[in-house]
Amino acid sequence: MKTIELTVDAQGVALLTIDVKERSMNVLTPEFIADLTAAVETVATDDGIKGAVLTSAKDSFIAGADLMNLVNAYEDGRSAEEKYQQSRGFQSLLRRLETCGKPFAAAINGTALGGGLEICLACHYRVAADNPKAVLGLPEVKVGLLPGGGGTQRLPRLIGQQNALQLMTQGTHLPPTKALEMGIVHAVVPADDCVAAATRWIVESGDAEQPWDKKGFKVPGGAGLMHPGSVQTLMVGSALIAKETSHNYPAPIAIMSCVYEGCVLPIDLGLDIESKYFTSLLMDPVARNLTRTLFINKGAADKLVRRPQGVEKTTVKKLGILGAGMMGAGIAYVSARAKMEVVLLDRDRDAAEKGKDYSRQLLQKAIDRGRSNADKAAVILDRITTTDDYALLEGCDLVIEAVFEDVGIKADVTAKTEAVFPETAVFASNTSTLPSSVRAKASKRPDQFIGIHFFSPVDKMPLVEVILGEQTNDRATAVALDYIQQIRKTPIVVNDSRGFYTSRVFGTYTNEGMTMVGEGVNPALIENVAKQAGMAVGPLAVMDEVTMELGYHVAMATEKALGDDYKPNSAAPVLKKFVEALDRRGKRFGKGFYDYPEGGKKHLWPGLADAFPRAKEQPSADEVRKRLLYVQALDTVRCLDEGVITHPADGDIGSILGWGFPPYTGGTLSLIETVGLQSFVDECDRLAKAYGERFEVPDSLRQRAKSGVGFYAEYDGEARSAA
């Protein structure tokens, strides 16, 4: 066996040591499952073996399924019956393990997730190492699936329906001590004693029969339609899932169904039910979308798949930040937390100190919540030096400019910085709209000038958009990406254009929302449908947050820059009316699409009905949903055609992590593949006739629909190779 080493000690206890070669963590590969099948049969049929202990040769136990196989499962050509039989095969293996008449114990020496924990649940005894870095859980829901190796049946039979459902529908990770408290493991021991403790159990008291196979077994806390506790758990759980998912995610509902239906039946029938629901999820694109974008492609981005090859790895030790406003203050915090020396510069020392206050407040919250202490906070704060003196930027490896979105102001601070910082240093401009190539004209070193777009609030938002100017060299790109990895953010790399990728495409969302207001669509319908479709915030609420004034300012700046080539967007009349006539400029000004009463809850401004009279016929919720989502997907295609983004993975990652596009879609481009290329094109043709040229289908997409070749097909393996 290549993935399991089987040895038998003098007491007749077999030790199965798992080691999936060429993997940093053990995963459920076909080779491993075949080896485990053979090992279980050896233990079951060898009279010289009393029982067996499963453990791992690695620091972790088993991390679960191979995610690459899950991504491929949706389009691998296998029928539902074939996928069902594969699921039943793994279940049969674990069923053979627990019913073969020999006791099995799991010596869980590290993290056990998904199928890894399901193997442990099939063992008759579970002892976990007291490892603070280890976690146990069934997180399949996070990739759009359910535990398909018996987890939905064994866990509720072990700890009760309510506790099991909370863990499985939320994908919760538990430390070993909490798993012990809940009854998932039988003991937690020092790491060095893990295998020995499992062996002692087999020798001294090994019981080869599971509780659910014993006569008279009942699910802890009850099960079935007639049991009050079970009914309450399922009713409340169903309502909570509907509220949290708007039925966009099928996995939590399938988990509830497995537990409800399976727990009133013998476990073998329950396992069959589980396999049927598991297969239905494999046949659904949501699992493919979540796995591909948020695990495979995000993992590749985190490992800097877009980093130029051949450039030596760099580490930012000293960072300069120009501007101590909200963005600069947030960048200072995450950088100091990542152990960098930070120089936070503003027009005067008081302004810089106000920026440092942001770090003080965040650190105090961490202390108040028991996540840190005063000594650790002091160390982080000591790394931030506030100043108005550019001379302190000497010795910086990287300087990030985060001043007001004005070309003149940005040019001034660029010149002052370049006069003092090292020739090898990279200058990065944090901007959401201004083209880097335009900004680089103010630099004497345009090859070392790069755009870095952070999202607010910096400490919470996971994405950073790196914008390459026309002259940006590979080293500047590498330094920016290495820095982003240091602060543990996810980068995407885009080429320069007005609005880049994220701001440009997100603008189509807010534009469509405002356009519908101008058409007389009920604003409550717009906002509610957007949230039900899975967008993080409704388009009107977003405009209030960023302020109509900023949108108006950007539109004016764009018109000035483009001159005769400028074309106002469809929402321009609405935006202009809000700023010029209504003087409702957004949340910061106390009024916008919403009212913000002191001490009260925000609500849509009642005067909207007078300012923009309601149309007699209102669109369906589905029509509003398509307009809001499809317009973003179409512009992402244009960004790919124009080379603003160079890989569909960046488009999908950026849309979800950058502005909250619905994760279940997999991102803006994956949405098109999910709908179906031709179906999407046909629907956009209809929308273009009804609402205008912003829904016109690019020729590239029309050709792609004819050929049936998806966005990822021509890039197959490129991003995933780094995952």
Which residues belong to the active site? 453
Bridge partners of 400, per DSSP, are: 321, 428
How many Cβ atoms are within 10 Å of 48's Cβ, its own excluded? Answer: 7
How many Cβ atoms are within 10 Å of 719's Cβ, its own excluded? Answer: 23
User: What is the arrangement of strands in the sheet containing 173-174, beginning at the earlier edge strand?
Assistant: 112-113, 136-137, 173-174
Q: What are the backbone angles phi and psi of residue 484, rounded to the nearest 5°?
A: -60, -35
| Amino acid making up residue 243 | K
Identify which of 62, 44, 54 has the alpha carbon closest to the alpha carbon of residue 6.
Answer: 54
What CA–CA distance (Å, rounded) separates 172 from 46?
Answer: 38
First to last CA, the chain: 26
Q: Which three-class secondary structure string do you get for 471-509?
A: CCCHHHHHHHHHHHHHCCCEEEEEECCCCCCHHHHHHHH
Joined tokens for residue 80: 């539902």
| Neighbouring C-alpha atoms within 13 Å toward the C-beta of 542 | 24
Joined tokens for residue 291: 């796995």
**311 Cβ contact partners less than 8 Å away, ≥ 6 residues apart:** 474, 475, 477, 478
Do 441 and 429 contact (CB within 8 A), yes or no?
A: no
- Site of tokens 């007005």: 498
What CA–CA distance (Å, rounded) separates 225 from 222?
Answer: 10
Long-range contacts for 178-186 (Cβ within 8 Å, ≥24 apart)? Answer: 179/128, 179/136, 180/128, 183/158, 183/159, 184/121, 184/126, 184/136, 184/155, 184/158, 184/159, 185/108, 185/120, 185/126, 185/127, 185/128, 185/136, 186/125, 186/126, 186/127
